[in-house]
Amino acid sequence: MALKATIYKAQLQIADMDRGVYADHAVTIARHPSEADERMMIRLLAFALNVTADDLQGRLEFAKDLWDVDEAALWHKDYTDAIQHWIDVGQPDDKRLMKAAGRAERVTVLSFASSTPVWWKSIESKLTRAANLVVWQIEAEQSQALTRLAARTMQLQVTVQDGTVWMSTTADSVEITPKRLTASPG
């Protein structure tokens, strides 16, 4: 018998001063049986950091990357079903990223393992043609600390200011400082 996804619900209160995005979002996350709390929370962080202020150009959604290799972890599709933003978490290989760069206007990766520098060094030179790709590193200690906030039902406040993210519950808070690995475009 195949294992089914576990459903998590999160109420996000986002105050992103860097992008001017202030909104509340009720999100449902299907957690794959092989997915750890850490990865699920990074997907939730990716949502908070990339959700738009409105749905006029489509919306950001959790996709099924662990079920379907042709899907991202999250993606923002417009109303014609064109992929505006492809978001992956972890350490995808260069072929997957190049394919995503050809399918989407923007591609973002949030890598969170302690092996991120080794992974990035091994594929960085293979991605020079992907001008629409941005790779971020979340320090392993910070991503692991996010697991303290994981629960089947979550009430999370996400505050972003000057590149630093605070994700909090009423009982705990985690500070995250994403580090950009790719060069600035242009």
> What is the reported pLDDT for 185?
55
179-180/21-31 β-pairing: unpaired
pLDDT of 88-141, one tens digit each?
999 999 999 999 999 999 999 999 999 999 999 999 999 988 999 999 999 999
Tell whether 185 is covered by a domain. Answer: no
Specify the number of domains making up the chain: 1
pLDDT of 52-91, one tens digit each?
988 888 899 999 877 777 789 999 999 999 999 999 999 9
Tell whether 110 is covered by a domain. Answer: yes
Dihedral angle over CA of 132, 163, 32, 62, nearest 10: -60
**What value does the mean pLDDT take over residues 159-170?**
97
Close Cβ partners of 98 (under 8 Å, ≥ 6 residues apart): 126, 127, 129, 130
Q: Record the tokens describing residue 19, joined without a space.
A: 């992008």
Tell whether 45 is covered by a domain. Answer: yes
Tell whether 134 is covered by a domain. Answer: yes
Note the pTM of the prediction, 2 decimals. 0.93
Tell whether 1 is covered by a domain. Answer: no
Domain that holds residue 110: 6-180
Pick from 184, 183, 164: nearest CA to 175: 164
What is the domain-level CATH number for residue 166?
A: 3.10.640.10
